[in-house]
Amino acid sequence: MSSKNRFTVYENNDEFKYENKNKNIHIKFNRIAFIFFIFFIISLIYSIHLTHLGSRNSSDINNYQNKIYNKLKRADIVDRNGNFLAKTVSSIDIGINPIEIIEQKKLLLNLGYIFPNKDYQKVQSQLNKNKFFWFEKKISDENYEKIMMLGDKSIKPEEKLTRVYPQKNLFSHIIGQIDDDNNGISGLEKSLDDKLKRKNKDIIKLTVDKDIQFLIREELIKYNQIFSAKGSAAILMNVNNGEILSLVSIPDFNPNLRANITDLNYINRATKGVYELGSVFKTFTLAAAFHEGVINPETEFKGLEKKLKCGKNIISEYDEKIPSDLTAEQILIRSGNVGSVRIGQSLGIKAYKEFMDDLDLIDPINFDIEEIGIPIPFNWGKCKLATTSYGHGITTTILQLANAYSIIVNGGYKIRPTLVKKNTYIQGKRILNNNVSEKINPILRKIVTTKEGTASLANVAGYEVGGKTGTAQKSTLGGYSKNKINTFASIFPTSKPKYSLVVMLDEPKTNSEYIYNYRDGSGIKYKGTPFNTAGWTSVEVVGQIIEKIGPILATKYNEIN
């Protein structure tokens, strides 16, 4: 055994011990162990740091994605029965980076098979620019699978959140649109923008009914064509709580296209359009007189002139056959102009103006969407009192008209028109004397049921329809044109009113081929529109609509009979 090294054996514990007497070798061995230890610690720290970094980046990415998601996420909008009207969904857009294309000819051939309707001359032009471009947006799952199977690395999919409107045009004027930055720019998308973006609000329920909206819209489109109208509008409202079951304005648009609409013909005629609506205002004149206790339905007006002069204006009857002696009730049934003026004069300016203010007819009304028309202001005077008494020289919106008729017939209780469903409704303040509705409702019914009335075409059996017609010339700069606004403001059932339905036709024309079928059980038919008045146009549309929606209202809501 060398004198430099020695082995020692301990028999009791079988341990083996090596003792190195060479100091140089001992130091070298310790240095290797130390270096190995240092490398081990560095590797361990690096691994821990790398793991933490990876975890942190993943978390940051998720947080970023969540921020983007929350920014784009908008609450869904549904109708009163839970049908989706607006919804935020995930979609996939496909982009192409020309620089990374493996074989352009083969790629175009495959894309043409998957998307045969694309303009590939335009696609080729974009490829030649060697810049990234979006090839197809919101592709279907089937096409996404096909395009990814091509395995071309130039194809770049990107998942996005997008706003879709499953009902397309049906609720366009109600729901409105958003812009490319996810901000509401019209309709409820705009007025409820903040609420729709809140994280804790998943669904907003509206008062509208998809099925009823569909049926009313179909009738408006149909009769727009029959009467060659420029446009039309309709509102169906619950007279007791202001809930709007349908609000339609034609023409409408598809909000999925996000088109920049500048054509004024696409105005929301139900809420934004401001019109002179004619004789539908005569109901308010008579109701105001009942409210003030000035007259009763049986009050007689004798010796009514055929013409009145007020300033430079001549007020005359539209029908020379109207008798000179009429009761207050008969004036409204026959739609007398001169008689309505006399009723208005018995009220006076102050009382009549206050009545119109209480019904929210003169100033802009508070509503859920911002597209609200502003009635044209005017100065009250004796002649203005006379003309407004029969609906001339005073403007309002279809929304305000439906609201005012609802108050007139519901017992005189104030309501607020609404599109957003509430859990509970508190009965509004009574603003009319309790006998106004009791007096006015039977008269509105007689306008539909009697031969002297102007709305017999709306006498749908089983629904007790009542209402008032209004035919007005459209105002222009410096006067009036030959174009008309034809309106029928209806309520049903008159014995216990539940709904007001207002239909307006903008610039309708007569139709010599249209067949009218009277609904009085007589079986009488009449061919051709004899006069371009509301009684032959808007009234017919209301009758058709109530025939379609009446059974739904009766069965679904049990609120007709």
Give the integer Cα–Cα distance in Å for 352 and 289: 8
Give the integer Cα–Cα distance in Å for 234 and 270: 6
Cα-based distances in Å from 451 to 145, 205, 447, 448, 520: 68, 44, 8, 8, 11
Which residues on neighbouring strands pair with residue 506, listed in sequence order?
A: 231, 485
- For the cut 50, the answer to whether the pLDDT of residue 125 exceeds it is yes
Residue in the block written with tokens 């907003």: 204
* Mean pLDDT of all residues belonging to the chain: 88
Using 50, 70 and 90 to split pLDDT, how confident is the model at 51? low
Cβ distance 409 to 287 under 8 Å?
A: no
- For the cut 70, the answer to whether the pLDDT of residue 56 exceeds it is no
- For 453-475, b where at least 16 C-beta lie within 10 A, e where not — what string? bbbbbbbbeebbbbbbbbbbeeb
* Identity of the residue numbered 325: D
Tens of pLDDT along 268-279? 999 999 999 999
The half-sphere exposure of 555 on its side-chain side, counting CA atoms within 13 A, is 7
pLDDT score of 166: 96
What six digits make up the tokens of 130?
């060697």
pLDDT score of 369: 97
Could you count the other beta carbons within 10 Å of the beta carbon of residue 130?
10
Mean pLDDT on 498-514? 98
Tens of pLDDT along 260-310? 888 999 999 999 999 999 999 999 999 999 999 999 999 999 999 999 988
DSSP string for 91-102: EEEEEE-GGG-S
Phi first, then psi: give them for residue 295, nearest 5 degrees. -140, 170
Which residues on neighbouring strands pair with residue 492, listed in sequence order?
A: 499
More confident residue, 332 or 142: 332
Give the integer Cα–Cα distance in Å for 73 and 546: 39
- For the cut 80, the answer to whether the pLDDT of residue 504 exceeds it is yes
Nearest Cα to 318, choosing from 477, 535, 509, 490? 535
Cβ distance 77 to 204 under 8 Å?
A: yes
Nearest Cα to 410, choosing from 528, 243, 549? 243
Nearest Cα to 487, choosing from 474, 509, 506? 506
Mean pLDDT on 80-100? 93
Element (H, E) at 66: helix 23-72
Give the integer Cα–Cα distance in Å for 16 and 14: 7
Helices (H), 73-130: 104-114, 120-128
Architecture per CATH, 74-205:
Alpha-Beta Complex (3.90)
Mean pLDDT on 112-118? 93
Nearest Cα to 246, choosing from 216, 203, 204, 205? 216
Give the integer Cα–Cα distance in Å for 453 and 437: 19
Tens of pLDDT along 81-90? 999 999 998 8
Using 50, 70 and 90 to split pLDDT, how confident is the model at 431? very high
Using 50, 70 and 90 to split pLDDT, how confident is the model at 70? low
Cα-based distances in Å from 449 to 82, 140, 330, 436, 519: 38, 55, 13, 21, 10
Give the integer Cα–Cα distance in Å for 164 and 255: 8
* Identity of the residue numbered 160: K
pLDDT score of 65: 42
Burial of 437 (0-12, 13-18, 19+ CB in 10 A): buried
Phi first, then psi: give them for residue 131, nearest 5 degrees. -125, 150
Give the integer Cα–Cα distance in Å for 246 and 167: 14
Q: How far is CA 261 from the centre of its chain?
A: 16
pLDDT score of 214: 98
pLDDT score of 320: 81
Nearest Cα to 205, choosing from 188, 180, 182, 224? 188
What six digits make up the tokens of 159?
């998942």
Using 50, 70 and 90 to split pLDDT, how confident is the model at 46? low
What six digits make up the tokens of 280?
């539908």
Output the 3-class SS for 413-441.
ECCCCECECCCCCCCCCECCCCCHHHHHH
pLDDT score of 69: 47
Helix axes 337-347, 349-358, angle to 10 degrees: 100
Helix axes 398-409, 436-449, angle to 10 degrees: 110
The half-sphere exposure of 440 on its side-chain side, counting CA atoms within 13 A, is 29
DSSP string for 320-380: TTS-S-EEHHHHHHTT-HHHHHHHHHHH-HHHHHHHHHHTT-SSPPP-SSS----PPP---
Give the integer Cα–Cα distance in Å for 233 and 302: 38
Superfamily in which the 211-557 domain is placed by CATH: DD-peptidase/beta-lactamase superfamily (3.40.710.10)
Sequence-ordered list of residues with C-beta below 8 angstroms from that of 411, at least 6 positions apart, any chain: 430, 432, 434, 437
Cβ distance 418 to 366 under 8 Å?
A: no
Tens of pLDDT along 313-360? 889 998 888 999 999 999 999 999 999 999 999 999 999 999 999 999
- For the cut 70, the answer to whether the pLDDT of residue 66 exceeds it is no
What six digits make up the tokens of 188?
């409820």
State whether residue 448 is helix, strand or coil.
Answer: helix
